[in-house]
Each structure stands twice: as structure tokens, then as C-alpha cells.
Structure 1
Amino acid sequence: MTYTIMLLYRYRSSTELSFKELLYNELYFASQDELNDPFDGESFYHFPSDKELWMRLLNEVNNRIKEMFWGDSEINEYYIEILATALSIRTPITYGEIMAGRLISIFDNIVSELENHNAVSEDVAYFAKEVQRYLSYSSPKLGYFVSFSSKNNDHLMWGHYGAQHFGYSLIFRTIDGTLKQDPSNCINSVGITETYRISVPSSIPFSKVNYSENIDFHNACWLLPRELVNNLTCVDLNEIKNHWDKSDSFLCSKHRSWEYEQEYRLILNGGSLSSERLSPLQRLLHYDFSQLVGVVFGSKMSDSHKMRVKEIIKYKKESFLPQNGPRHVFPFVFFQARRSFNREIDVTPEEVFDCNFKIQLTTEDSKRCLKQWEDGYALRFDANGGCTPVIVI
């Protein structure tokens, strides 16, 4: 497979936290709650207005309650019929709304209309929570994200993510469309529960974000056990298969108003248990430092902060030794962003280093090395210490 040569930019503020991230080549995968777009990662699954669906679902939960309490349940077929009929009228309802408690509220409103509501309200409230709990085990995939951009000179990107131009942007070169984990500090899996772990690839692929004003709603029945939805008029089994073939698409979808970001993201799959979350420590990974190939300093970044970044880069590059199998070493470039008179941001190279991190002082050497940097030139070290010039795509 052919991959496009790609440079991606990760905007950072000039803080001690960002300097620490740089020193230890850290990547923190943010949860949906930590993103600045409240709809980012939202799945938009909805349950349709189908009485038979709700009858099956409520009976399934009721049978589980009976098994738990040795055949005893206060919710009989009469109440299930009432609840299913009312739900078919009050739907569609999204999966997110159910997890936020709307189903419990709907049940409460339905019961309040019954003549004997005082006698059954407590039982129905418990039943509603059990329905919500049952559905939580069929939740959409969770995702955690690290954001990059294909743009290095956008006003809004520097203003929003580059600390109002006082920050900087790290430049990463993709290898086979991925960012590799640090081989000496690679995480192969993380635990969701004591018995459930999810794998983490050693090379994490970049996913391009798609922008649209339209919401692509999905049928929440596709998330439920197959035996529960078989032969329902609201479910097409072929649609279920097609859905799972592209089930990650909502993790890379944003409203068109964010299109200026031109975002690419790394995604850490968080499984599909809505009640379980990865801890912040579990979402902290370390990237292969060899893929960091440059830095753009913001137009307002202080000289002292520039020196901090250069000091860390110099220390990391000079102490870097290819190990643990094939590794790439790229040229490295420091760029400076400047405000031009036509209200554009100009990004120009300031210092160019070859693969041995030796600065190129003459104009011709600097131009040659910069051209190699742009083309993806690298030295590839094999497991035996051999070195071969290559072009990385």
C-alpha cells in the first residue's frame, strides 16, 4: 500500500506541562468530556418508534430480573404493554439520552398517569434503571483522541491551540500513515476491567476528520444482541453488517464549523462498556521520538521558551540511539512563524540539521538538507546496526 508523505502539526502552549510532554515524548489521549467540541465523538444512535422492539426489550429485562429474584417480579405483562406502547409514542430517543436518564424520566411520567401509580411507582423506577443498565452493555464504541493538523499557518489554530501565538507546534512525520509508540516504552494493552483488556497497536494509524453539517443517525437496534432484534420490521440485518464495517466513522466526524482545523487524529479504542472508562494514566502513551522532525515557534513566543524547547530537543536527539529493531532517523528543522504585512502568517526555516543532528551552516548545505527533509529522506537503521538511506512514505 502506498502512503502519502505527510507532515502533521501538534500545537502546544509554552507551559511546564508541555515541556514535560516533550522531554518524555508523551501523548495524552483526551476523553470526549475533555474535548472543546461537546458533540465530538457523539455517536447519534437512536431507538426507533417500534412497539415490538420495546416489548422484546422490556420482556428481556423483566426475565433477567425474575432470574435474579427466583421468579419474582412486580412488573407484569399488563405494565410492560403500557410501557412499550408509551415508549413507541415517545420515541425516537437517542442512546445518549437514555444513558443520561431520560428513559427513567419517561417511565416516571407514564406511571404518574396510572390510577394506582403510588402502588407501582417504586417498582417501575427500579425497572427503568435495570433497562438502562441492560442497554449500557451494548453501548457504542468509546474513543480517546490526540489531535493534529495538516496546517501550520492558520490564524485560528495559533490563536486557539498555540496559546495566542505564544506557543509552538511540533512537527511529526508519519510512517506508513502511523505514529509509532516508543519501542522502549510500548504499551500492548490496557485493562478496562480485571478480566477485560483492549489491545493497543505499536503503530497507531492517523485518521482524517470529516466535516459535515448533517448528522448521520444510526439505528440503535444495531447495537443490541442479534436474537433480540431478529425479524423486527425496524431492523435490516444487511444494514447491521454494513454498519459494523464503518462503525468507527462517528469518531472522525465533526461539524463543518471546525473545518479550519484540518484535523488528523490518533484514536485509542476504549471498548464498548459505557460504565467503564480508561483512567488518565492508561491514556498516556509515548511516541517514537524519531518521528518528531521539527518545531515551529509561534510569532510571539519568548526567547527563553524557545531555548527551553531547543535544549530539550538537543538533549533528546543527541542521546537518541536506534534500538530494538528497525528505526528511522530524519533531518530536523526549527521554523519561525512571523506576522506579515498582508495579515498572513509566514513560516520560514531558521535552523536545519542533518540526520546526525549537525547544524547545516552554509546556504547550499542548508537548502539540500531542507529538500531532503521535505521529501521524507531518512537513515534507516536495522537490528544489526546497519544503516541505509531511504525515502519514507
Structure 2
Amino acid sequence: MHVFKYYRPNHYFDKAIRYNELYFAANHELNDPNDLKAIYYFEDSPELWSRLLKLSEENSFWSLSETINTDCQILAGSLNDIFKGIEVSSIDSFDSLKGVLDLCSGQIIDAFESALFKRENELNSPAVRADLCKLIMTELLSRAINHEFYSVSFSKDALNSMMWAHYAEGFKGCVVIYASENRGFSLSHNPFSENVAEYNLAPVDYVDSDKRIPILESVTSGKGKAVSTFLQKNSFWKYEDELRSFTFKAINTKYMAMASHKAQKLKTTDRKRILYHDASLIAGVIFGPRVKAEYQREVEFVLHDNRYYRGKESFFSLNTVLTDSGNIEISKASKVTCAGEIPGFTPFEGEKLKELLHHLNILSDSR
């Protein structure tokens, strides 16, 4: 299949075609201020608290079973009563969770004290041991929020006039055609690396409802709920017909717990959000109606050079016009061959052009 990414004529587009980059954006870099933003919430479920308390660790220091009776239903019920209904923003989620734990600290300590093992000659006081349990619980809860998500977006629609007007800077930009196998890409964190990973593309769901992620379920069952939630957008954006892929920054949950326990600011190192693909992933470029011929030639030569030195695969160059009715249409197309040092152009017209557009999944703009 082929998917499409709208670009303004700026350095992001230049890097995308020159260095085969894909940039994964954070919440503050996106057009929708509510994108990649959600509410984490504590469910009303003593059963989920019981499952969380039983999570095992190889390191005995981080295992609650060394200190308390993890089968204690009273403890699970008490923690459920303390936390149920509490919400944590996905933006600055660590600070939000720390604030909740600080606010409820006394109740949490009391709950854990009731479930402590009774040991003779115990050196530490019940309060100290219960505080250790709170630290371990903090590490467990941090597993729900220790990933900061970043996204890269594509569209299934190459000829949406609203998209061209906004994301392609008033028809002065381009749409890059990406060839995707099985709705995904092979990407690496370094342009010279052969160590690639598969990044899936998933369709965005357009619904008018709050984006909420259950904390306890995320800890006990994985990140599936978070991923599906960040594939949700308001129906206002439905015209984008978006496909999305994610990368993320993972923070060590034990560091998070210790930072919270010591009331320190957590220091992290950002994971790289620029990923690289093979030059052949770009199947072609669609040029906006206001793109100048000189700029188009520059783009075509950049793509040609990439292929000439890496595989010599051809690509497609397509031009557009904006009709009086406000629709954007393909006006002409060429296959650009890269076997020689100078690009060769083979025009597509009539039925051949229709077949090419069908092959590239480029549908007419009927809006």
C-alpha cells in the first residue's frame, strides 16, 4: 500500500527527502493541543490492586512479598478506597503522580502497616517498613506512566484540499508518497545502521469522547490501552484520514520511584525521535499547484541522487492543479529513472496515468 505525508517547503521536508528522515513529534509540536494528551485514572477494582501487589521481582528489595502479605484483601480494598477516581494528566504525569502520593502518604503508610509480616527481632519500625512498601508501590504504579509517546502521521488521502491548504502551506508544499508493506515501515535510529525495527501504522479513530487510560490495567496488562487511546482524536479532524506510528521515551521506573521518594526532580535522557528509512521507501512526490518549476527540479534531483547511489530504483513525480470548484487534481505525472547520472523522465498520460494513480492509491478529491 501507499500512504501520504504532507510537507511544507521547509527544512523538515528537505531532511525527509535528502536524508530519509521521519520525525516523531511530541504533544506541544502538534496542531491539535489535545493530541497525545490523555488522563490516567485509578480504577475502582480491589481485584486489580491484588494483582498489582503480587507482581514479582528478581530483586527482593523491590518485591512486596518480602515485607507484606500480598494476599491481604483488606490491604487491596484500602488502597482501592484511597486511589479510586483519582486522575493524573499524561502531560507531566510523573509530577502529577508524585503529588497524589504526597497528598495520600499518611493513608498509604497506614494501609501497608496493617499488612506487614510480624517478625521477631525486626530492626526497622513498622512505619519505616510501610514506607518501603510505599516506595515499591510507587515503582509499580510508575510502570503505567513511564513512557512518553511521540508520533508521526500519514494520510490515506493524497488530494484533500483542506490538508493541502494547511499542512502544505497553501498549496506551496508537497506530498511525499511512501510505500508501506503490511502497514508499517522498517526504521533505524542511525542512517548508517542496518539494525532496523518495524514500526506499525494504525488508523486513527475519530470520536468525541474523553481520552482516558486505566492505570492499574496498564501496570498489570501492558501498554495496549495507552496506545489505543493515543490513536483517538476528535471528529473535527476526521478529514485528515490519518494513519499513525509511535516511538517513545522509556524511563526507568525504579529511578522514578526513588526520585519521588526523595522528593527530587527526575532527570532523564531523551530517546532520539528522528528515525531513518531506506531511500526506496519514498515512491514519489506530488507537487502542489503553487510549487515553482525550479524548486520541483531541485527536489527531483535530490531524490534521483539518493537512488542513483543506492539501488537505482525509479520514483514518480506528479503535478497538481486546483480547480475552480476547490478540488485538487493530478494534472500530469512522470516516472523518473535513476540508472544514470542525469534523471530520465517518462510521461504518463491517459489510461496509463489512471493506472498509475490506481497503483499509488491516489483518489480524486471529491470534496
TM-score normalised over the length of structure 1: 0.62
Offset of residue 312 of structure 1: 1.4
Q: Specify which of 180, 188, 195 is matched with residue 195 of structure 2.
A: 188
Shift in CA distance, 139/298, structure 1 to aligned 2, threshold 3 Å: same
* Structure-2 residue corresponding to 1:358: 344
* Structure-2 residue corresponding to 1:76: none
What is the CA deviation profile of residues 158-185 of structure 1, one whole-angstrom value per residue up to 9, with x for unaligned ones? 2331123222111123233333448983
What is the CA deviation profile of residues 68-110 of structure 1, one whole-angstrom value per residue up to 9, with x for unaligned ones? 9xxxxxxxxxxxx99x969836741234379354455456666
Correspondence list, 1:3-14, <5 A: 6-14=1-9
Q: Does 1:341 align with 2:324?
A: yes
Q: Does 1:93 align with 2:86?
A: yes
Q: What letter corresponds to residue 99 of structure 1 in structure 2? A: S
* Structure-2 residue corresponding to 1:163: 169
Q: Does 1:295 align with 2:285?
A: yes
Partners of 1:58 and 1:245 in 2: how far apart? 21
Q: What letter corresponds to residue 21 of structure 1 in structure 2? A: A
Partners of 1:218 and 1:49 in 2: how far apart? 13
Q: Name the SS for the 2:328 alignment partner.
A: strand
What is the CA deviation profile of residues 118-152 of structure 1, one whole-angstrom value per residue up to 9, with x for unaligned ones? xxxxxx99998886455223436553321111122
Q: Does 1:224 align with 2:231?
A: no
Offset of residue 16 of structure 1: 3.3
8 A contact 2:218–2:225 mirrored in 1: no
What is the CA deviation profile of residues 25-62 of structure 1, one whole-angstrom value per residue up to 9, with x for unaligned ones? 111222344333343334544213467977998999xx
Partners of 1:246 and 1:105 in 2: how far apart? 23
Shift in CA distance, 92/302, structure 1 to aligned 2, threshold 3 Å: same
Q: Specify which of 15, 20, 34 is matched with residue 39 of structure 1.
A: 34
Partners of 1:219 and 1:179 in 2: how far apart? 29
Q: Specify which of 353, 357, 364 is matched with residue 370 of structure 1.
A: 353
Shift in CA distance, 330/269, structure 1 to aligned 2, threshold 3 Å: farther
* Structure-2 residue corresponding to 1:390: none
Q: Specify which of 270, 274, 282 is matched with residue 279 of structure 1.
A: 270
Partners of 2:242 and 2:33 in 1: how far apart? 16
Q: Specify which of 205, 208, 214 is matched with residue 210 of structure 1.
A: 205
What is the CA deviation profile of residues 204-224 of structure 1, one whole-angstrom value per residue up to 9, with x for unaligned ones? 332211111134644322233
Shift in CA distance, 330/252, structure 1 to aligned 2, threshold 3 Å: farther
Q: What letter corresponds to residue 248 of structure 1 in structure 2? A: V
Q: What letter corresponds to residue 177 of structure 1 in structure 2? A: R
Shift in CA distance, 218/375, structure 1 to aligned 2, threshold 3 Å: same
Shift in CA distance, 299/126, structure 1 to aligned 2, threshold 3 Å: farther
8 A contact 1:291–1:330 mirrored in 2: no
* Structure-2 residue corresponding to 1:30: 25
Partners of 2:102 and 2:270 in 1: how far apart? 34
Correspondence list, 1:318-333, <5 A: 318-321=308-311, 329=313, 331-333=315-317
Q: Does 1:266 align with 2:248?
A: no
* Structure-2 residue corresponding to 1:117: none
Q: Which runs of 5+ in 2 are unaligned?
A: 63-73, 108-129, 257-266, 361-367
Partners of 1:140 and 1:256 in 2: how far apart? 29
Q: Does 1:15 align with 2:21?
A: no
TM-score normalised over the length of structure 2: 0.65
Offset of residue 352 of structure 1: 0.8
Partners of 1:253 and 1:211 in 2: how far apart? 6
Q: Does 1:310 align with 2:293?
A: no
8 A contact 1:99–1:132 mirrored in 2: no
What is the CA deviation profile of residues 226-276 of structure 1, one whole-angstrom value per residue up to 9, with x for unaligned ones? xxxxxxxxxxxxxx5xx7777632232222222111111233355575768
Partners of 1:376 and 1:305 in 2: how far apart? 26
Partners of 1:101 and 1:87 in 2: how far apart? 21
Offset of residue 10 of structure 1: 0.8
Instruction: Pick which of 172-181 and 243-252 moved more.
Output: 243-252
Partners of 1:166 and 1:134 in 2: how far apart? 50
Q: What letter corresponds to residue 185 of structure 1 in structure 2? A: F
Partners of 1:296 and 1:19 in 2: how far apart? 14
Correspondence list, 1:226-245, <5 A: 240=221
Q: Name the SS for the 1:163 alignment partner.
A: coil
Partners of 2:271 and 2:16 in 1: how far apart? 14
Q: Does 1:254 align with 2:233?
A: yes
* Structure-1 residue corresponding to 2:185: 179
What is the CA deviation profile of residues 295-324 of structure 1, one whole-angstrom value per residue up to 9, with x for unaligned ones? 2222333444333322312323444426xx
